[in-house]
Amino acid sequence: MRPDDPRDERSPLRPDITLPGLNPQNRFVTLGEDYFSRVEPEPLPDARLLHVNRDLAAELGLSPDSLDSPEFLALMSGNARLSGGCEIATVYAGHQFGVFVPQLGDGRAILLAQVQDTQGRWQDIQLKGAGPTPYSRFADGRAVLRSSIREYLAGSALHHLGIPSTRALSLVGSSLPLRRETIESAAVISRVAPCHVRFGQFEFFYYQGRHEALAPLADQVIEQHFPELFEHPQRHAAWLRIVVERSARLMAQWQTVGFCHGVMNTDNFSVLGLTLDYGPYGFLDAFDAHHICNHTDEGGRYAYDRQPEVGHWNCSRLLQACLPLLHEVPEQAVEIAQAILDAFPPTYTEAVTRRWRAKLGLVAEESDDPELINRLLTIMHRSRADFTRSFRMLSELESATDAAPRLRDYVGDLEAFDAWLDDYRARLRREHSDDAQRRQNMNAVNPKYVLRNWMAQGAIEQAQQGDATEIDRLMRLLARPYDEQPDMERYFAEPPAWAQHIEVSCSS
């Protein structure tokens, strides 16, 4: 039910429950209703728990027994309220594919509560797919099982790769039919993150001319997540510089594991530097530097090789929206913002070069490292060599001999590759590289397993038949992406031919 509905009253069909370990504190609602709307999830018929992220549950302080309880299922499906919770949807704007949209908002996401985990860190618990909100833009506010599985798996996959990300606590399925391109079944995930505040929330108030609303939102983010800055004389500038630098490092992490986000709109960028909103994402199979993972992105705005550029541009939009926080004199605010934005390129370059260097097992730093890295990437691009497999197999190279590494069988342009190998071996010898130690170091940063589209598709098809076995298997696999897992070796094989025809888009 929408909060402005004249029938606005608490549904008797949704009882209040408590879950030991979850103690709502709900700091966001203290900002006032300029920032959100109160809304109740719609009850989900035939709700069934498909999977629980038990590691995340333990971080939140939930007992194993509570995860199997009817109360947990009722809460995570939207069929019950958390006693003391808040149930709100936030408002925001955003640049979508470069075009400003003045009002967006949580169209199908409802914040249940803010809690502190076992380490004292703030965490939002949010239902996604639990029905319409005032920001649903005439949509049903639901999510289909297909996209919910993809987000459930992806958040865990990136987290275990060491990449900051939202995660999902639970995946609930239903027989409720939803019309997308075809009829699909509904699902709800409970999304967990330290904070879901987006760049677009600052854009909303800036472009509406409601500049007085910017500081309270920024200050709450700072107080909860950057408390060391709260007494800083220029706390907003200091915080924004951290956001820009975190965003730059996040782009470096995406690029060096071959992750493509697909919808890098400003409303999908986090003020904590988290990977936020998993729509048509994908990990690279055959390496194409211009790969577009989003079937809807006809112009390639969010292609793999453009992600750092877009991240930089998105930060400029955040800084534009926060100019009133930086100085009362507009010209001086612009100067401060530009100085903050100027930190993005060097931060990204340092982070991405360091990560590429580590992926090649290089310990020392030399001036021609970028050239060595780019030559390999160019060969891989021309050969359409598999991104993840190539770097993993490169660790097998023996630097003291001329023996051909296994990777040579998977690249084209052998003349260029052999010349690169000669230079790479010479580089390793100059730093007296120990092959065994280098192999260990490389395998600690080059994952053996990533969440490829074909893997997610297999889990989706099984779950659509009522079987969540593959979801569980992939969650276990992706929790140890850098480890050898002999019983999971088939997930390291070359992707099946049919995987080339998988298309993902914004439809979910």
> Which range, of 150-164, 193-207, 391-405, 437-451, averages the lowest pLDDT?
391-405
Decide: helix, strand or coil at residue 101: strand
CB 324 within 8 A of CB 225: no
Cα distance between residue 260 and residue 273, in whole Å = 16
- The full DSSP string for 103-128 is ----SSEEEEEEEE-TTS-EEEEEEE
Confidence of residue 3 (pLDDT cuts 50, 70, 90): very low
CB 134 within 8 A of CB 110: no
Please give the pLDDT value at position 504.
84
**Which residue is associated with the tokens 């309220």?**
81
CB 279 within 8 A of CB 147: yes
Tally the C-alpha atoms within 13 A of residue 187's C-alpha that lie toward its C-beta. Answer: 27
- 423 in a labelled binding site: no
> Smallest Cα–Cα separation from 3: which of 125, 110, 84?
110
CB 280 within 8 A of CB 506: yes
Count how many residues are written for the chain: 508
Q: Does pLDDT of 247 surpass 90?
A: yes
> Smallest Cα–Cα separation from 106: which of 320, 216, 296, 268?
268
> Smallest Cα–Cα separation from 168: which of 193, 195, 133?
193
Mean of the pLDDT values across residues 439-459?
A: 97
DSSP type of residue 431? T
**Which residue is associated with the tokens 């779950």?**
463
Q: Does pLDDT of 1 surpass 50?
A: no
Please give the pLDDT value at position 96.
97
Please give the pLDDT value at position 4.
42
CB 378 within 8 A of CB 347: no
Mean pLDDT, the chain, integer: 94
33 exposed, middle or buried (CB, 10 Å; 0-12, 13-18, 19+)? exposed
Give the percent of the chain with pLDDT over 90. 91
The identity of residue 138, as a single letter, is F
Cα distance between residue 340 and residue 352, in whole Å = 19
451 exposed, middle or buried (CB, 10 Å; 0-12, 13-18, 19+)? buried
Phi, psi of 173 (to 5 degrees): -105, 170
Cα distance between residue 243 and residue 326, in whole Å = 14
pLDDT tens track for 184-215: 999 999 999 999 999 999 999 999 999 999 99
Tally the C-alpha atoms within 13 A of residue 315's C-alpha that lie toward its C-beta. Answer: 31
Decide: helix, strand or coil at residue 86: coil
Mean of the pLDDT values across residues 105-121?
A: 95
- 141 in a labelled binding site: yes
Tally the C-alpha atoms within 13 A of residue 185's C-alpha that lie toward its C-beta. Answer: 18
Decide: helix, strand or coil at residue 503: coil
- Break the chain down into helix, strand, coil percent, rounded to 5: 45, 15, 40
Please give the pLDDT value at position 402.
86
- 268 in a labelled binding site: yes
- 191 in a labelled binding site: yes
- The full DSSP string for 394-413 is HTT--TTS-PPPGGGGG-S-
465 exposed, middle or buried (CB, 10 Å; 0-12, 13-18, 19+)? exposed
Give the percent of the chain with pLDDT over 70. 97
User: Buried b / exposed e across 305-320, counting CB within 10 Å, b at 16+?
Assistant: ebbbebbbbbbbbbbb
Kindly list the distances between the CA atom of residue 405 and the CA atoms of 341, 356, 411, 421, 505, in Å, as whole numbers in the listed order.
Answer: 43, 19, 11, 9, 37
- 107 in a labelled binding site: yes
Cα distance between residue 9 and residue 219, in whole Å = 32
pLDDT tens track for 357-375: 999 999 999 999 999 999 9
- 277 in a labelled binding site: yes
pLDDT tens track for 258-273: 999 999 999 999 999 9
Please give the pLDDT value at position 507.
61
Q: Does pLDDT of 427 surpass 60?
A: yes
Q: Does pLDDT of 118 surpass 50?
A: yes
- 108 in a labelled binding site: yes
DSSP type of residue 346? H
Cα distance between residue 505 and residue 508, in whole Å = 8
Cα distance between residue 467 and residue 454, in whole Å = 17
- 198 in a labelled binding site: yes
List the structure tokens of 333. Answer: 């605010």
Biggest alpha carbon–alpha carbon distance for the chain:
79
Domain boundaries, the chain: 16-196, 206-352
CB 39 within 8 A of CB 3: yes
pLDDT tens track for 273-296: 999 999 999 999 999 999 999 999
The identity of residue 406, as a single letter, is R
Tell me which residues are annotated as active site.
267
Confidence of residue 12 (pLDDT cuts 50, 70, 90): low
